[in-house]
Structure 1
Amino acid sequence: MTPAQMQSRIVRYGELKPCRTAFIDAHTPGSDQKENFTIIGGGVSESADQHVHIAIPHGFNIGAAGQPPKCRNSLHSHRTAEVFFVLSGRWRFFWGRWGKAGEVVLERGDIFNIPTGIFRGFENIGDDYGMIMAILGGDDAGGGVIWAPQVIEDAAAHGLVLSEKGKLYDTKKGQSLPAGVKPMPLLTEDELKAYPEPTTAEVVPTCVARYWDMVALADRKPVKVIGETGMLRDRPGFEVDLVTRGSASDSLHSHDRPSVLMPVTGHWRVFWEGGETVLAPGDTMSVPENLSHGAMPSMTGDAALYHIVATDDPAGPTWKG
């Protein structure tokens, strides 16, 4: 594959196209300055305005959220895995029906395998614009987002209505639900009982991995972060490894399915049969299946990247509490 052919599989940080109306809380004060990005796969955006950078199926989706300080993403749940790692900024993740069951603060490089089936939200508590990168299980990302009832109610008060099929309509633009289309029903109290309320002590030890702990463990070989034998033991439909300067190798390898490289720190020279390129933090590269490739840091200093590849495990629930 030539470098020109590979360009369609590389999304540079500076070329990311944001959507500011991706979800139902896009007009709700406190959440109305979010930028959402769909990098690989269709994602779970509820807006027709969302740009998809790479549509090739990978067995998972890659997205991102960029937010200024004090901006938050409202409480929601997914039917498949949702894994975040912090690219920049300082972020508070919280969960539970009202967001009060537990919380954790993450910084650059930290990763959070958020349990499926619980309501979760997050906010930028840093001083500058921050970015978090997301991995969602499955090619269809589980059929969309399940919102806490109060999020749907708050959104309606600010002009956004979600249809029962998960499509957004903006009444401020004169839009309304088409004839015969019903609004998204609110979860009932009985349905809400099915959503667990795990504590911080229950979630963090098995779902959060700190960047510098991973770097220390990856001093000689890549560390498996998420997987059956990983630091965070789970089988969400994909595996995540962290590669560092100490564990990078100039030998070529390949996979029988597409894989993804996402630098956290440092610049990385990625080479393959036919060419090479350099990736920087925030860049995302999709490597075709069966293509021999490798990656090495191209400059001195701290260097780490996440490597993601799908597995044959179903992209189903992860919370076992």
Structure 2
Amino acid sequence: MSDWTLEAMEKRLVRYADLKGLKNAFIDARTPGSDRKENFTIIGPGVSENPAQVVHIPEAHGFNIGAARQPFGCTNSQHSHLTAETFVVHTGKWRFVFGANKDEGYIDVEPGDVATVPTHMFRGFEKRDEGTGFLFVVLGHDDPGKVVWAPSVFKMAEDFGLKLLKGGKLIDTTLGEKVPEGAEMEQPPDAAKLRELATPPMSELAKYAVKAADMRANPNSPLSGPGVEEDALIGDVDAGDGFAAGPIIGHWRHDFALRRLKLETGATIPAHSRSEQEVIFVQSGTLEFNWDGGKLILGAGDTLTVPIGLMHGYRNPASADAIAFVIRGAAAPAAPVFAEGRVAAE
């Protein structure tokens, strides 16, 4: 019997309904157009500038999982990251806008699409249709570093009482918070830094997004079978589990692989274990996760992290397709090991 009890596995599951967000996680939190966004840290420390941010699962994975939830017209201001920032669109229509001044190109995405943005360049995003939308976000590495904000963000933030200390701590003067004596303030990027964060041409950036309709099953996936497909999305290099690099390959490293699983009604994936971190995010439908200690039923928007080495399987118990995105915590994931002793060919 597995050491992983149902109670223990439930602690590795974050239900969409249980997400705890923060509306003032960053320096742009009160500026017009950005004051209604919620930020979430689901796995890992994330990059929030506010210590009040709730971290649902702090265990180091080699990457971070976060999310953003925004209503129509709400924007996430222009910023740059030191590590990979990859988006899975759960709900809503969004536009990713590039350049410090939002004038160097854009990509439009909608539910089921995936987009990843290069390191060391400015990006922001805006919710473009009615209602509230949710973006699932993967940030590279255990420590993704601090956000670099565009110069305009600093001025707007100060106008609304927010100041950013060197090292990334946010001070909200409207709440009576004071800048500590002798503390050094974070400064806007200078001209030299802005040149370092130049935007690649749109001909390159367009390669870093995949529409849901263009995702294709990999027949070489060891998880594929009747009613089951696994699609390649992000792969820096060829992997040991039947996946070649790509289709998204950047000029920077992600150091994780992103796949999409699709299970038709009644389809199953037999018990197997992985040698790297595995995080499952359910895009739509219902997915049963099972192991010899029990089973969990996952719904749309739920996130589960699977212990390394745990024998586990999947089943779709519902009448609609189950679609889930999988983050594997290695640039080149190894082949799964199946319970009956079968090892997928490398």
Alignment correspondent of 2:202? 200
Contact 1:269 1:298 survives alignment (8 Å): yes
Contact 1:41 1:54 survives alignment (8 Å): yes
Per-residue deviation at 1:312? 5.8
In 2: Cα distance, 1:306 partner to 1:37 partner: 18
In 1: Cα distance, 2:297 partner to 2:214 partner: 26
Partner secondary structure for residue 193 of structure 1: helix
2:245 maps to 1:245: no
The code of the aligned residue for 1:211 comes to A
- Deviation sequence 1:191-244 (CA, Å, 0-9, x none): 11111222333211x200111221566876311210121221244111011011
What TM-score do you get using the length of structure 2 for normalisation?
A: 0.86
What TM-score do you get using the length of structure 1 for normalisation?
A: 0.93
- Deviation sequence 1:145-168 (CA, Å, 0-9, x none): 111111111101110000011000
Change (3 A) 1:18 1:274: same
2:248 maps to 1:232: yes
The code of the aligned residue for 1:138 comes to H
In 1: Cα distance, 2:120 partner to 2:264 partner: 37
The code of the aligned residue for 2:174 comes to K
Alignment correspondent of 1:282? 301
Aligned partner (choices 179, 182, 185) of residue 180 of structure 1 = 182
The code of the aligned residue for 2:281 comes to M
Unaligned runs of 5+ in 1: 314-321
2:64 maps to 1:48: no
Contact 2:75 2:125 survives alignment (8 Å): yes
In 2: Cα distance, 1:194 partner to 1:249 partner: 48
Partner secondary structure for residue 102 of structure 2: coil
In 2: Cα distance, 1:28 partner to 1:45 partner: 17
- Deviation sequence 1:247-266 (CA, Å, 0-9, x none): 96421121223210001111
288-297 or 210-219: bigger deviation: 210-219
Contact 1:215 1:244 survives alignment (8 Å): no
The code of the aligned residue for 1:198 comes to P
295-304 or 80-89: bigger deviation: 295-304
45-54 or 171-180: bigger deviation: 171-180
Unaligned runs of 5+ in 2: 220-226, 238-244, 333-346
Contact 1:9 1:286 survives alignment (8 Å): yes
Change (3 A) 1:220 1:296: closer
| Higher-Rg member (1/2) | 2
In 2: Cα distance, 1:156 partner to 1:118 partner: 23
Contact 2:257 2:331 survives alignment (8 Å): no
Alignment correspondent of 1:129? 132
Partner secondary structure for residue 232 of structure 1: coil
2:55 maps to 1:37: no
What is the total number of aligned residue pairs between the two structures? 311
Q: Counterparts of 1:31-110 in structure 2 under 5 Å?
A: 31-110=34-113
In 2: Cα distance, 1:186 partner to 1:72 partner: 20
* Identical columns (%): 40
Per-residue deviation at 1:51? 0.2
The code of the aligned residue for 2:321 comes to D
